[in-house]
Structure 1
């Protein structure tokens, strides 16, 4: 199944939560690491890619959405710890890339960091 990003309210919110803050600038102007969007599966960390054309394979199990509060002075912006489905990506080893989401149709491509 080829998955394309659709702008439904739930999917849009998921995409915003997964991509918010990746590559935030530090006070010195250099890029600072961000935990936002980080999921773990099989003892590996994955970050969203922004790629929208990929083929979702079989369900692998459950990925963990890592709790993140990299803006402690901005209440209400933190991402709570959670769980979501982990799916294979056709043509990729799960050690390199997986798709995550509540269903295969809503999955977002993630690559190992």
Structure 2
């Protein structure tokens, strides 16, 4: 009976580990998966855009190809790096695309990304947050 209990405990541990690993992945398909500790960033038009958090916005027209840069969330571990993954940039209504874009993190969830500076989030994004 002890061996069976250990086997059941091992199976439950494996299931919990797999569930946690699945919950901590970067969706987008195609290029593989990386741990969620990587920030959501995309490059478009020679600029790098970073997730600004949960701010309401209106998705505009498709702008063109963009890509998620590689993510290496564990230094010195080559097995955790995911290569560049293509995506599409979308306009954010009322905001210049040189300031912010949206990408589809998955089909149902567009994400607002903005170019950040040493001063933080651009004023246009702060304005959107105030309207939220």
TM-score calculated relative to the size of structure 1: 0.61
Distance of 2:88 and 2:114 partners within structure 1: 15
Partner SS state of residue 27, structure 2: helix
Q: CA deviation at 1:42?
A: 0.5
Match of 2:27 in 1: 14
The number of residues matched between the two structures is 90
Question: For the Cα contact (< 8 Å) 2:44–2:66, is it kept in 1?
Answer: yes
Q: Does 1:71 align with 2:80?
A: no
C-alpha distance after superposition, 1:23-64 (max 9, x if no partner): xxxxxxxxxxxxxx3211001010111124111000001111
Distance 2:91 2:36 in 1: 20
Change (3 A) 1:104 1:54: farther
Contact kept in structure 2, 1:48 and 1:109, CA below 8 Å: yes
Is residue 2:91 matched to residue 1:88?
Answer: yes
| 2:114 is equivalent to residue 111 of structure 1 | yes
Q: Name structure 2 gaps, 5 residues minimum.
A: 1-21, 29-33, 117-132
Unaligned 5+ runs, structure 1: 1-8, 23-36
4+ residue segments displaced more than 6 Å? none
How far did residue 89 of structure 1 move? 0.3
Distance 1:13 1:66 in 2: 12
- More helix by proportion, 1 or 2? 2
CA distance in 2, matches of 1:66, 1:13: 12
| Root mean square deviation, CA, Å | 3.2
> Which one has more relative contact order, counting CA pairs under 8 Å at least 6 apart?
1
Q: TM-score under structure 2 normalisation?
A: 0.54
CA–CA distance in structure 2, aligned partners of residues 71 and 54 of structure 1? 33
